[in-house]
Structure 1
Amino acid sequence: MKKKEIFFIAGLLVLAGVMWLGFRLSGQRSHNTIRITVDGKEFGTYSLDKDQVIHIGDTNVCEIKDGKVTMIEATCPDHYCMKQKAIDEHGGSIICLPNKVVIEGEDTADSSESEDSPKIDAVT
């Protein structure tokens, strides 16, 4: 290999490392609350700091305990929502499709982005 090729490859590796570190640091947000929606309408927002049991209509029951949220009861036939990973300060979501219930971690920290700025939710 020539000297120019070695510098080019080293530069690409350094650039990739810097970009990886930037994405890693920017992705560490604290989700202090959860937001529950039923059929697309907001049911409520709850703090992860307070242990409580939340009855979501007549269909689901979730529990906040030790800063983690789990679905403990559901009337859906498959109970996949009860098997999903708990939501904690790192975020996540629990979805019950038959009952149209969505529980998701919500970032309550002040953000430098405005409400009008576009949010990217997927990359294809």
Structure 2
Amino acid sequence: MKKKDLILIGVILLAAAACWAGFRMFGEQKGNMLVITVDGEVYGTYDLSVDQEIIIGSTNRCEIKDGAARMTEADCPDQLCRKQKSIDASGGTIVCLPNKVVLEIYRNGEDEQADTIAQ
């Protein structure tokens, strides 16, 4: 093999490794989940890639659209949960304290169990 052949093979291997690393780190966010808890109990787990509207009991309504979740309706007096920005695959939490509703994003590979619960 000539020197130019070795350089070409090296460049191709480097490009392949860079592509693999890029897909591994920044690849598709499929599998990101919205976990809804009500009064400390898991109400449901929903895929962020599926647009849908979720009615949470008789008190709240949540919407998943374009990979982001937001609270669209709540019967609490301050409406702070509705005023919070949407949460997406980068993480985040929306809390409705009066109704004890929590919307939380779990990314790929994260454990969905709480580490500790203080009472």
Short-chain TM bin: 0.5 to 0.7
| Contact kept? 2:81, 2:94, Cα under 8 Å | yes
**1:77 shift after superposition:** 0.3
| Contact kept? 2:30, 2:49, Cα under 8 Å | no
Give 1:69-80 correspondences, 5 Å limit.
69-80=69-80
Give 1:1-124 correspondences, 5 Å limit.
32-109=32-109
Consecutive unaligned residues in structure 1, runs of 5 or more: 1-24, 112-118
TM-score (norm 2): 0.66
Q: Deviations over 1:84-107 (max 9, x none)?
A: 121101010000000000000012
SS at match of 2:32: strand
Match of 2:20 in 1: none
CA distance in 2: counterparts of 1:34 and 1:97, whole angstroms: 18
| Contact kept? 1:93, 1:102, Cα under 8 Å | yes
SS at match of 1:108: coil
Q: Which runs of 4+ in 1 moved over 2 A?
A: 107-111
Taking only aligned residues, the RMSD between alpha carbons, in angstroms, comes to: 2.6
**1:60 shift after superposition:** 0.2
Count of aligned positions: 87
CA distance in 1: counterparts of 2:44 and 2:67, whole angstroms: 17
Change (3 A) 1:110 1:73: closer
TM-score (norm 1): 0.63
**What one-letter code is carried by the residue in structure 2 that aligns with 1:78?**
D
SS at match of 2:88: coil
Consecutive unaligned residues in structure 2, runs of 5 or more: 1-24
